[in-house]
Structure 1
Amino acid sequence: MTTASSTSPLRIGVVGYGHLGQFLVERILSEGPEVGLELAFVWNRNADKLKGEVPPQLILQDLSSFAQRGCDVIVEVCHPHIVQEFGERFLSKSHFLVGSPSALSEPKLNQQLRRAAQQGGRTLYVPSGALWGGQDIQRLSDSGALKALFIRMSKHPSCFRLTNDVLSDWSEAEGRRVLFRGSVAELCPLAPNNVNTMAAAAVAAGALGFAGVQGEIVSDTELSDYHVVEVEVTGPDGFTVHTVRRNPAKLGAVTGAATYKSFWNSLLVCKGHGGRVYLC
């Protein structure tokens, strides 16, 4: 385990207290001193959910007053709407780890946050989540050699949170159904809570962007124990890579179990990488 340095610990603000937020808060409180992290605040849309779970002095009632807590890093783990409403303000005061990178599929917001990071000299961190090989995709893109990127995410229908009723009629005997195939830019608004891995891939594939990366989401009633993430990378002269990741997950779980640990490792990276977007 990494030990804390002699410098002051990084003060972390956690925005959102769902399953992932709870995991992060518990781990910062229990292991923070050992890894150089200190919890500055926790905010949740329903503050009553925090009572008895989070020390009272760490509960932030009004998110607009986040700057008073003097955070080094603010972590969003709730909803893209928070990224839209507070992203620029967070970056004006702190580094920002965006747990809902699907929000970045909106071109205007994407540019606003990139500009805010550059102007303030702070880092907009994008966690890899369930994406395997993100750094390799990024290097291929930066070198100009990335030609195409396709991602398929397959889950049990109970694990999807969609903005329309396309899955309202599913049954356990249904089997496999392709729900959508197209650009990640089109897919993110349809399933903002399910495709953050695809959004991270679109950030890594900077040369292609959200409009150039292709994605597919699949409902499969056979997947009762795990999610499946398939990534197909195409480079020059016949170069291809195809990875398949099976991420253990309970029925109804939006996020697979292994992604929690991945997110924690991403947080440990957030120590400042200049005014830019950084995949971690």
Structure 2
Amino acid sequence: MATSSSTLRVGVVGYGHLGQFLVGRILKEGSGAGVSLAFVWNRNTNKLKGCVPDDLILSDLTTFTDRKCDVIVEVCHPQIVKDFGLQFLSQAHLLVGSPSALSDPTLNQKLQQAARQHGRTLYIPSGALWGGLDIQRLNDSGTLKALFIRMSKHPSCFRLTGDMLSDWTEGEGRRVLYSGSVAELCPLAPNNVNTMAAAAMAAGALGFAGVQGEIVSDTALSDYHVVEVEVTGSNGFSVHTVRRNPAKLGAVTGSATYNSFWNSLLVCQGHGGRVHLC
């Protein structure tokens, strides 16, 4: 296990926008930040050539055990967490960039059991979630009563299953696409609601079924995403935050989330055997 005085060896699974950002930053700044690359995997290996040193490219993900690393960062797709999460935790800490996968209660339980069994940490990045650690503290103290999250984006920024948004037109304004439990929402928008999934992990007592979420398509939001969080505690306590995350049209991830994810990666040390929001 890496310590604060050693280099954190990182395996990156996925080379989309977020994966490219993390790999590029590790290659450029890693030595100064105490981070190095163990491997990079992408479904399309050709995308890595010329961008990642050849000796760091992993062509077959099933051979990841050949590359010694301290933490594996998944920034690919929830299916990777389902297919490889248990194997990853048997070898290293796991930073789950697609926590919507954890809305599957069986998978969630198995991953937490594996973390305890192997003394590894299941890291959940805060991403665009503001106040996640405060939510976790309320949860741990037994005073968290309710949690609601609304995510509003331009329709081009959503990646939804089915045809929920196939008929949108520019200038139509605001449309509520879904309102209900985060457990039911995650399969509908697995790439868009990782912020909600992180919140559901922080609010363990409520769980995915108990946390309420809403996604809103709004053609007026051409420059940023909006994330609203409403927390209700005991004795009349409540908090309402509104975060505007700059984002280009069509961007699934807001720009501020990239640096948030980098900061999450830097703390992936020394929390073995548990779930840790970072």
| Structure 1 residue runs of 4 or more that deviate by more than 2 Å after TM superposition | 5-8
1:60 corresponds to which residue?
A: 58
1:201 corresponds to which residue?
A: 199
Alignment of 1:31-110 (within 5 A): 31-110=29-108
Report how far residue 7 of structure 1 moved. 3.8
2:111 corresponds to which residue?
A: 113
Report how far residue 268 of structure 1 moved. 0.3
1:160 aligns with 2:158: yes
Task: State the TM-score, normalized to the length of structure 2.
Answer: 0.98
CA contact (8 A) 2:148 2:213 kept: yes
Paired amino acid for 1:203: M
Report how far residue 6 of structure 1 moved. 8.5
Alignment of 1:214-225 (within 5 A): 214-225=212-223
2:124 corresponds to which residue?
A: 126
2:25 corresponds to which residue?
A: 27
Task: State the TM-score, normalized to the length of structure 1.
Answer: 0.97
CA contact (8 A) 1:130 1:229 kept: yes
CA contact (8 A) 2:227 2:244 kept: yes
Aligned equivalents of 1:86, 1:213: Cα separation in 2: 26
Determine helix, strand or coil for the equivalent of 2:186.
Answer: helix
2:253 corresponds to which residue?
A: 255
Aligned equivalents of 1:11, 1:69: Cα separation in 2: 10
1:149 corresponds to which residue?
A: 147
Aligned equivalents of 1:99, 1:272: Cα separation in 2: 19
Determine helix, strand or coil for the equivalent of 1:86.
Answer: helix
CA contact (8 A) 1:95 1:272 kept: no
Paired amino acid for 1:34: G
Where in structure 2 are there 5+ consecutive unaligned residues?
none
Aligned equivalents of 2:270, 2:111: Cα separation in 1: 16
Determine helix, strand or coil for the equivalent of 1:267.
Answer: helix
Aligned equivalents of 2:269, 2:258: Cα separation in 1: 19
1:181 corresponds to which residue?
A: 179
CA contact (8 A) 1:156 1:251 kept: yes
CA contact (8 A) 2:99 2:198 kept: yes
Aligned equivalents of 1:143, 1:73: Cα separation in 2: 29
2:262 corresponds to which residue?
A: 264
CA shift in 2, pair 1:234/1:18, >3 Å:
same
Aligned equivalents of 1:31, 1:89: Cα separation in 2: 29
1:277 corresponds to which residue?
A: 275
Paired amino acid for 1:49: K
CA shift in 2, pair 1:29/1:171, >3 Å:
same
CA contact (8 A) 1:21 1:77 kept: yes
Aligned equivalents of 1:102, 1:272: Cα separation in 2: 24
Cα RMSD (Å):
0.9
Deviations 1:18-41 (A, max 9, x none): 000000000000111111111010
CA contact (8 A) 1:156 1:223 kept: yes
CA contact (8 A) 2:38 2:67 kept: yes
Determine helix, strand or coil for the equivalent of 1:251.
Answer: coil
CA contact (8 A) 1:131 1:197 kept: yes
CA contact (8 A) 2:171 2:220 kept: no
Aligned equivalents of 2:150, 2:164: Cα separation in 1: 18
CA contact (8 A) 2:9 2:38 kept: yes
Aligned equivalents of 2:122, 2:164: Cα separation in 1: 33
Identity level (%): 80
